[in-house]
Amino acid sequence: MKFLTSGYAADIGDILNGALFTVDYSEMVIVKDVDYYSLCEHHLLPFFGKCHVAYIPRTQVIGISKIPRLVDVFSRRLQVQERLTNEIAECIREAVDPLGVGVIMHGTHLCMAMRGVEKQNSATVTSAMLGTFRSDARTRAEFLQLAQ
């Protein structure tokens, strides 16, 4: 349990320290199919799945191995999937001030599969879109297609 909620103790600054670079690159960067495991705050049962993270840098890029670390920090807490999605997106916005950020999460919720309605094949999809990912439909569409 301590491990599963270790995200509360993580320091985002420490994680990103030294992992921000200035490169001449202005297209979308996507880190896709990041496995995550989290705990549903209502039933204390795990939910887990794949997370796709994208952003369009303004001047700085993040070392790509840091993106999954950020996903871990926020998923190792008591969460609902909607909030978890938002928190990852906001964290990247604050860290590198990009032109836009997009996060899509697919989740299998054991509270749905193990008990109650017992739908063993259902999945939940949430997304958070900031900056150009929110204002420009083509940017969203490109993210969806590249992350397939």
User: Binding residues for a copy of itself, per CB under 8 A?
Assistant: 3-4, 21, 23-25, 27-35, 37, 42, 45-46, 48, 50, 61, 63-65, 68-69, 72, 80-83, 85-86, 104, 109-129, 137-138, 140-142, 144-147
42, 60, 82, 94: the catalytic one is 42
Q: How far apart are CA 19 and CA 59, in angstroms?
A: 14
- Smallest gap from Cβ 139 to a copy of itself, in A, equals 9
- Give exposure, 10-40, as e/b (b: 16+ Cβ within 10 Å): beeeebbeeeeeeeeeeebebbeebebebbb
Nearer residue to a copy of itself within complex by CB, 11 or 145: 145
Q: How far apart are CA 137 and CA 127, in angstroms?
A: 14
- Smallest gap from Cβ 95 to a copy of itself, in A, equals 16
Q: How far apart are CA 54 and CA 14, in angstroms?
A: 21
Nearer residue to a copy of itself within complex by CB, 13 or 66: 66
40 belongs to the catalytic site = yes
42 belongs to the catalytic site = yes
43 belongs to the catalytic site = yes
* Collapsed DSSP state (helix, strand, coil) of residue 53: strand
87, 109, 142, 148: the catalytic one is 109
Nearer residue to a copy of itself within complex by CB, 13 or 142: 142
Nearby residues of 6 by Cβ (< 8 Å), 6 or more positions away: 76
- Smallest gap from Cβ 57 to a copy of itself, in A, equals 8
CB-based contact 142:102 (threshold 8 Å) = no
Active site residues: 40-43, 81, 109, 111
